[in-house]
Structure 1
Amino acid sequence: MIDPNDPYEIQIAKQAKIIDALINRAERGHEVGGTAYSLFQSAIALQAEVWEKTKDLEKALDTLGRASSELEIAYQAQERIQRNLADAMVAMEGGFALFSEDRLQVCNSQFRQLLPDVESIIKPGLAFDDYLAAVNASRYLVHEEGEGSKARGRLAVTAQGPSGQRFSSFVMALRNDRWFQISYRQTSSDNMAVLQTEITDLVRENRREKNRLIDQQAHLLQAAFDHMSLGVCTFSSTGELLVRNERFGELLGIPLPLLKKGTRFQRIIEHIERHEILDRTSQDPEISNWFKALLRGETIQQRFRRRDGMSLDMRVHSLPDGGFIVSIMDITAETEAAALLERRVRERTAELTEANRLLQKHAAEQTKIEAALRQAKEVAEAAHTSKTRFLAAASHDLLQPINAAKLYLSTLTETVEQAEAKEVVNRLNRSFNSIETLLQALLDISRLDSSGVEFNVTSFSLGNMLQGLAEDLAPLAAEKGIKLTILPTTRWVTSDQRYLMRCVQNLVVNAIQYTERGRVLVGCRMAEGRLRIEVWDTGIGISDHDQARVFKEFTRGSGGKGTGMGLGLSIVERACRHLDHALKLKSRPGHGTMFSIEVPLAAAEYGGHGESPVAEAPPEGSLDLIVMVVENDADELNAMTRKLENWGASVLAASSTAEALALMQEIGTPPDILLADYQLDDEDTGIDTIRTLRAMAGEEIPAVIISANRERELLLLAREMSFTVLNKPVQLVRLRALIDWQTRGRAA
């Protein structure tokens, strides 16, 4: 029934009402009547309740007394704090005021008395914005011209702090040169504290320090002016002298009374003209109009010469305030140096002109020499071209009879039975082989020395090439009693197959010729991502002196018994240089020699491109085929026909494409294989023969071009048209193997 949270006065009132209700109830019980015992019992119960309520009442009264004491103490503390605050505000040097809910609560006398015309409204309850408006309107504030509105604006501006509280601080100037700083800040309890601090002494001290610094800077500036080698003088916007140094008067010869502050620029100009201080020949006729030009904001630069010979450089620049500054420099030394430099330039120009004349004369002579050299070069190139054409024609014309002779000798070897006659035939074979080797070497050197040499660089199996060399050179090694060993390899390389084979063949032949006993070994090994082909021999070796010259043409090592002309190693060196294959030589005299060629490796393929396939063994038996032979040389045609007939073939001989076509039409069937010379009569070629016969037959007749032409275009054309190129002089073993390989599918 009693809420302990209610004030003590309310709790006491409720307890009194409860007690009265209980007493009234007890009295009504006596009036109703009852037994004495029930009355006594009710009285005892009522007394107990009264005692309990009395205790609660005493406890409540005690609590109320303590609360009253604490409240009295709080009142006393508040009064003491208010007295201390009033004492502190009175003791403060500046004005202080506290605004609560934007209304003035308390302030000190300094705050009220700062502005006499505002003092009357500064009372508790004054709104903060009204206070700011009154301060803005006070006649005791001092505003500079044009700054009144700005000052009032600053008084009304407030800023927001990080927590959203307002704060501001500004300086206010009063009459009699007094200065105050007004600061107000919103406290955490949303009250506004305003503080007025007089800063008159600080402002005056800053003003004195500023004036002192200005004076000091003026003295420093004047000292700098006085110690400058440059004459400097500044003028106001009206042309009156402001600041100058002594050098200015010295350079222009102007007396000191005329250089006092306030002298007009026009007067100084008139003095210079009147006393002819400057040489009239060096004066600008418009010098009297300089002042007008400066008023228009123009920049002036002029050089003068005094009558005593001194050269002056005068520059006049406008200043931002409308004035201008005049600077004068003594440039006598520079002028004399420029004159000396100009004289030297003229002298040097004359020297260069003469040198240029001599150079032009020399250039004319050089042009004549270059023209003569160009003509000589053209003659040499024409001679070289003529030589190349001659060798190309000679390669065909010389190899034609050699090829025919070898064919006849091959037929003669098979038919001659007398021992003495066979010996003669064998000697003839060796002689023709020597002629063929020498001619091939000369042609190779000619091609490698030509500027337009071309290579057919492809990827091929090195093992097949080395196997062919082993078969070709084995008889030469056996004839001399030398053991020739060529180790097999499965590596593929990238190079010109014909030239690489020629290089290795020359190295092996050279090793056999210069080895009297022992062996010649050819093998391959890896060398830093490339393949090194090495040729070892146990021959006489090469001395250090000869190692530097063995690669020159027509050079052979000393002490050797070689039968060649000394061209083999020269061909190897030229070919390796063009193909970018590293060629190395190691040798010990009396122990042997090692030559090596490094070639790039290539990925292995299932089929390679070469000039001709390599047969595992020379085919034997009768050649039961129809062979069409097209050759414009009658002797070679006859020799080739007889050789093929000895092999058992049926030969159709023709000297041109037209004859070959007529023969095929006559027999009514295409030949099993076509052997054609590349270069025929009247611009006819073996290529034309292949195209014509294949077109007439409607099928791809196997074909072989027999030619001394080793150009790349022919090999590319062979690859495109699917025919084989066989070089002259023809090796009969290879020819027979090639015919068998080309016709194997047709025979099946």
Structure 2
Amino acid sequence: MSHTLINPADTLERQNQKLLKIAETLMRRVEQSPSDSGMAYAQFERAALLEEEVRSRTLDLEQALEQLNLTHNELASANAATERARADLSNAIETVREGFALFNARDELVMCNSRFGKWMRDVHPKLLPGLSFKTYVQLVSRSSSLALPKGISPATWAKRRMLHHRDKHAVFNTRIAGQRWLQVSEQRTTDGGTVILQTDVTDMMRLERRERDRLLDDQAQLIRATLDHLDQGVCIFDTHNLLAGRNQRLGELLALPLHHLTLGSRAGALFQLLQDQGQFPDPDAADTLHSWIASKENRVPLSFDVLIGSRALSAFAQQMPDGGFVISFSDVTIERAAARAQAEANETLERRVAERTLELEAALADAERANTSKSRFVAAASHDLLQPLSAAKLYMASLAEGITTPELQDRLDKATNALVGVEDILEALLDISKLDSGRVAVDVTDVALADILVQLGDELAPLAMQKGLDFRIVLPRATVRSDATFLRRILQNLISNAVRYTNSGKVLVGARRCGDNLRIEVHDTGSGIPLDQHQRVFDEFHRIVTPSHPSEGVGLGLAIVKRACDLLDHPLQLRSTTGRTVFSVTLPIVSPQKPDSPLPDQILGPAIMAPAIVLLLENDTGLRKALTATLEDWGLEVFACSSEAEAIALLHEVDIAPDLVIADYQLDDGLLGSDAIIHLRQQYGPLPACLITANRDPDVTVLCSGIDVGLLHKPINPAALRIVLQRSLQSTQT
């Protein structure tokens, strides 16, 4: 009920007044109406409640007033502290010896001390709080107390001053009237405001100028003393071509009395003296010098020689920044005489060098002929030795299949190993001979790396299997840029060395991608290579003797690898510790390529091959018989011929086309086995064929690839021969 009599929006004092008035009215009515006791009691009770509410509201009002008084006291204290801080700041700023001004983030002047702008009487009275920085700059630029630099207008000065204002920190000097200087330092505050300090540096500037003048006087004296002590004759001309300075040495060199070249003399007088009493070795030098002196702009440095009596002088003329020029004269009489003597000595020396060069060229020609003769001899000897060596290996392979006695088998194995050693030596000598000749032709093409590794795996897997090694080749699907022949030789030497010098464990060949390159790595678990031998292992005939390998090889394999890698620019690396060795060769990648076939688990396959007819063209009788015996032992029927004509006659006689052709590359009378294969294919269709040769020239490899013919190098490896036959015969059957 009471809430309908009182407006909650009224203040507490107003509500209390209303409640007191209501209570007073109710009490008066109770007293005036005794008959209506029930109603009076209710009104009295309501009045009592109203009085209690009034008391409560009064108490709240008193508490609010007390809190308001406390807040007012704290605000008054804070205002007093603020005023004291402002006064302290103003006093502190006023005590600063420099002119001080503070602009807020809106570039409005907050405060400044009495020294700020005092040097500009027309500006100082206008420096009041609220003044914008731009207006301040405009006032200063138009002030009569500002000494503007020559050619600078007030607007230009104001524009440059505003550019300084953009920087977080700027320091510059300004000249004002009365030959005074102010240093202005402007610094940004953290809230974006600006503090400016003005320091009178007039005394410092005057002191600096006096010191500069003193230094200039000292420098002038030093220059004069220096000129007099120079061994060169020096003369200095001003912008009007008048002599401004010279030293005594000039008169001595030109053989002139001092009064002939006095200060103020024109440059033309010097030129006339040089022309009258001197001689210019270069006929055009006099005209060039005269034109150079007459020209007052864009003079390039000029050098010329002049002869004064028996003295040779070298002159150098150069323009100075102010438009004048300097000419210096140096006595080069001794140098010119020495140069003439040197020229004569050079002529004599050149004659001797030419004579000696002819002698050396003759000696070099003799050495090249000897080297060529050696290379030809090695190649011829290797070819002649490879023929019987191939035959011997084939006979050994043929005997191995028919011997069952362990003792005889052991002897046969030793004899076969000896032949393999001879083969390695011959191949190594042939490779070294080619690399030493310096005339090795490389054929860098796109090479499918997997194809080479598959062939090497076929060749070396039997030896690894015989030694009980875990021999694995992880074929990379990549094509690299290299010479196929040399790359195969590099990898063959590295992998065969790993198999040869590893008694137990494993040999792993893999590849790692290194950006645009591929690094082929050959890992083995052999005895390792000592650190002091890492460089020497690449020397010719250097062998590491260990208890497990006392004298294997002849020490040419790694020398060939190193030279071939250097020739092809393939980085070669060696890492080796006890029980582990890693050789790696880095090759540039062309594009990924899937290998043609996986590395086979079994190399030789069955002892007896599928029946087939093989046409054999071999002009060497011993090798032809050995190949025939080996092929027949494998279950093949062989038509053995010594020439293309004999082969064609035999085929016409029996009227049977062969299943496979094996031809020697070099036949009698200069004929080639590759041409014979082409002729046979013209008559009997696309016959599978294989070319055998001791020639390791890259052109032979390219030729075989062009006519789709397999290639085997002598001495012939029986295992490699069997693989070629199996693949060729399988291709005909499919």
TM-score interval, normalised by the smaller of the two chains: 0.5 to 0.7
| 1:390 partner amino acid | F
1:598 aligns with 2:586: yes
Cα-to-partner distance string for 1:438-480 (whole Å, 9 max, x where unaligned): 2112222222223221234343443443344344334434444
In structure 2, relative to structure 1, the CA distance for the partners of 1:532 and 1:345 (3 Å cut) is closer
User: In the alignment, which residue of structure 2 is the partner of 1:418?
Assistant: 405
Q: Which residue of 1 aligns with 2:312?
A: 341
SS of the aligned residue for 1:550 comes to helix
**Letter of the aligned partner of 1:389 in structure 2?**
R
**What's the CA shift for 1:635?**
0.9
SS in 1 for 2:536: coil
Q: For the residues of structure 2 that align with 1:226 and 1:375, how far apart are their CA atoms?
A: 67
Q: Which residue, 578, 583, 586 being the options, matches 2:572?
A: 583
SS at match of 1:663: helix
Q: Deviations over 1:98-129 (max 9, x none)?
A: xxxxxxxxxxxxxxxxxxxxxxxxxxxxxxxx
Aligned AA (2:584): S
Tell me which amino acid in the other structure corresponds to 2:559.
S
Per the alignment, residue 247 of structure 2 pairs with none
SS in 2 for 1:729: coil
Deviation at 1:686, TM superposition (A): 0.7
Match of 1:739 in 2: 725
Q: CA deviation at 1:416?
A: 2.8
Q: Does 1:465 align with 2:452?
A: yes
Q: CA shift at 1:740, angstroms?
A: 3.0
1:538, distance to aligned residue in structure 2 (A): 3.3
Tell me, yes or no, if the aligned pair for 1:660 and 1:689 is still in contact at 8 Å.
Answer: no
**TM-score using structure 1 length:** 0.52
Please tell me whether residue 717 in structure 1 is matched to residue 688 in structure 2.
no
In structure 1, distance between residues paired with 2:476 and 2:313: 82
For residues 529 and 732 of structure 1, what CA distance do their matches in structure 2 show? 38
Aligned identity (percent) is: 37
Give the secondary-structure state (helix, strand or coil) at the position aligned to 1:341.
strand
Residue 504 (str. 1) matches residue 474 (str. 2) = no
Q: How many residues align?
A: 429
1:622–1:647 Cα contact (<8 Å) kept: yes
Report the secondary structure of 1:637's partner residue.
helix
SS at match of 1:415: coil
1:464–1:614: 8 Å Cα contact kept in structure 2?
Answer: no
1:687/1:484 CA distance change after superposition, 3 Å: closer
- Flag the 1:628–1:512 CA change in 2: closer, same or farther, 3 A: closer
Task: Give the equivalent residue in structure 2 for 1:568.
Answer: 557
Q: 1:736 to 1:542 in 2, by over 3 A?
A: closer
* Structure 2 Cα separation of the partners of residues 679 and 530 of structure 1: 39
Displacement of 1:744: 3.3
Q: Tell me by how many angstroms 1:560 deviates.
A: 6.0
2:668 is paired with a residue whose SS is coil
DSSP 3-state at the match of 2:712: strand
How far apart, CA to CA, are the structure 1 residues paired with 2:380 and 2:546?
A: 38
Distance across 1 between alignment mates of 2:430 and 2:376? 11
SS in 2 for 1:490: coil
Q: Deviations over 1:273-302 (max 9, x none)?
A: xxxxxxxxxxxxxxxxxxxxxxxxxxx999
Matches within 5 A, 1:24-35: none
Q: Distance in 1 between matches of 2:679 and 2:240?
A: 110
Larger radius of gyration: 1
CA displacement at 1:481 relative to structure 2? 4.6
Matched residue, 2:522: 535
Secondary structure in structure 1 of the residue aligned to 2:441: coil
Q: Which residue of 1 aligns with 2:672?
A: 685
Alignment-mate amino acid for residue 591 of structure 2? A
Inter-partner Cα distance in structure 1 for 2:511 and 2:663: 38
Matched residues in 1 for 2:613 and 2:430: separation?
35
Return the match for 1:728 from 714, 720, 723: 714
Whichever residue aligns with residue 565 of structure 2, its letter is C
For each residue in 1:146-193, what CA deviation from the matched residue of structure 2 results, as whole angstroms up to 9, or x when unmatched? Answer: xxxxxxxxxxxxxxxxxxxxxxxxxxxxxxxxxxxxxxxxxxxxxxxx
Matches within 5 A, 1:248-287: none
The CA RMSD over aligned residues, in Å, is 3.7
Instruction: Return the offset for 1:497.
Output: 3.4
Task: Decide which moves more: 368-377 or 337-346.
Answer: 337-346
Structure 1 residues 622 and 341, CA gap change in structure 2 (3 angstroms): closer
Separation in 1 of the partners of 2:476 and 2:353?
A: 59
Contact 1:615 1:737 in 2 (8 A): no
Structure 2 letter corresponding to 1:469: L
When residues 639 and 582 of structure 1 are mapped into structure 2, their CA distance, relative to the original with a 3 A threshold, is same
Q: CA deviation at 1:229?
A: 6.2
Tell me the SS of whatever aligns to 1:452: coil
Match of 2:182 in 1: none
Matches within 5 A, 1:389-428: 389-428=376-415
SS for the counterpart of 2:685 is coil
Query: What code does the residue aligned with 1:576 have?
Result: C
Q: Secondary structure at the residue paired with 2:542?
A: coil
Q: Does 1:649 align with 2:636?
A: yes
What is the alpha-carbon distance in structure 2 between the residues aligned to residue 514 and residue 694 of structure 1? 45
Q: Does the 8 Å contact 2:306/2:313 carry over to 1?
A: no
Amino acid of the residue matched to residue 486 of structure 1?
A: I
Call closer, same or farther: CA 1:683–1:229 in 2, change over 3 Å: closer
Cα distance in 2, alignment partners of residues 476 and 227 from structure 1: 96
Distance 1:541 1:740, change over 3 A: closer
Once the two structures are superposed, the pairs formed by residues 652-671 of structure 1 within 5 Å of their partners are 652-671=639-658
> What is the alpha-carbon distance in structure 2 between the residues aligned to residue 226 and residue 554 of structure 1?
83
8 Å Cα contact 2:663-2:690 kept in structure 1: yes
CA contact (8 A) 1:555 1:565 kept: yes
TM-score norm. by structure 2 comes to: 0.53
What's the secondary structure of 1:535's corresponding residue?
strand
| Separation in structure 2 between the aligned mates of residue 710 and residue 717 of structure 1, nearest angstrom | 12
Aligned equivalents of 2:729, 2:625: Cα separation in 1: 23
In structure 1, how many angstroms separate the alpha carbons of the residues matched to 2:307 and 2:703?
83
**Structure 1 residues 472 and 694: alpha-carbon distance in aligned structure 2, compared to 1, 3 A threshold:** closer
1:32-91 C-alpha deviation (Å, 9 max, x unpaired): xxxxxxxxxxxxxxxxxxxxxxxxxxxxxxxxxxxxxxxxxxxxxxxxxxxxxxxxxxxx
Letter of the structure 1 residue corresponding to residue 312 of structure 2: L
Cα deviation for residue 591 of structure 1 reads: 4.3
Evaluate the alpha carbon distance shift between residue 652 and residue 614 of structure 1 in structure 2; reply closer, same or farther with a 3 A threshold.
farther
Query: Residue 419 of structure 2 aligns with which residue?
Result: 432
State the AA in 1 paired with 2:589: L
- Mapping of residues 278-317 of structure 1, within 5 Å: none
